[in-house]
Amino acid sequence: MISEDLVTLLPRCVANVRGKSIGPTRNEIVRLAQRAGLPEADDLGKEMLMRSLMRHAVEGDVSSGEIFVRSYISAVRAVGGFVDSDENFIGTELTQKLQAAFGREGWRLHDDGSLQPRVLDGLSGHALSDALRVYVRRAQRGAIDNELVIGTSKCLEEAVARHVLTEATGGYSTSMDFVSTLYQAFDRLGLAAPKSSDHLNADPYGELTMAIYYVARAVNRLRNDRGDGHGRPTESVASALEARLSASGAAMVSDLLLTALGE
């Protein structure tokens, strides 16, 4: 739930309104930041302090930032920030802008200030595709703990594969296991995929590292064929999707190798 929009909008919840500072106190903001693991900026008023904290979160500490944002919204709600008759009311316009910004990050901010993950139930077609892309972006940025990252990744892959089958064929079999569902999704989209994973490592982590190894080889082949490999004198012919996948694949491979080296 960290974005450039929220960096701009959240500090306004403690701005000066009608000559009076609204929202949680500076001490409360500092306490929430410390609990989340964000550094405190010295000698700043509430609004500038919030801008500093949010800028630090969006540029380098997303996990701590997400913890802070949830507790900050709760604090704004507790002092009446979402009650139109309260002197701490942040205003209808700001509330609506916050709702839209949180919505783009996969969260729903209710009128009363309660914040909940966006539910995918009942969505279909383009609406479901857009919602799933939010989770893809969140998965790319990482999450608060490793177990959540692994669990979310698996659920996300299966949710996307089932969505593809529904859009491409009208439905999917709930009795299919994950590998079969994934293969069917690749096949229906005309994407190359092995029919069996028997040749991969029996250990799940070993299978993952072997698959990443294949990603590294594929990125290199794609670069040589579409990009500027081997001193190609002509302009790259790679599509935007190929370029983005190559960059993501190279990042994943590099992260694996450097992390393993450090360990």
pLDDT digits over 141-185, tens only? 654 444 444 455 557 778 888 888 888 899 988 888 878 888 888
Residue 73 has pLDDT above 90, yes or no: yes
Residue 198 confidence (pLDDT):
64
Query: pTM for this one?
Result: 0.59
Residue 154 confidence (pLDDT):
55
Residue 192 has pLDDT above 50, yes or no: yes
Nearest-angstrom CA–CA distance, 201 and 203? 5
Span 54-65, average pLDDT: 86
Residue 147 confidence (pLDDT):
45
Which one has a higher pLDDT value, 59 or 223?
59
Residue 227 confidence (pLDDT):
60
Residue 86 confidence (pLDDT):
94
- Of these ranges, 31-35, 104-108, 222-226, the one predicted with the greatest mean pLDDT is 31-35
Which one has a higher pLDDT value, 135 or 206?
206
Where residue 21 falls (left for φ over 0; alpha for ψ -120 to 50; beta otherwise) is beta
pLDDT category of residue 61 using cuts at 50, 70 and 90: confident
Nearest-angstrom CA–CA distance, 260 and 263? 5
Closest CA to 65 of 97, 28, 39: 39
The mean-pLDDT minimum among 87-101, 181-195, 246-260 falls in: 246-260
Residue 17 confidence (pLDDT):
78
Nearest-angstrom CA–CA distance, 92 and 72? 18
Which one has a higher pLDDT value, 237 or 203?
203
Span 135-146, average pLDDT: 58
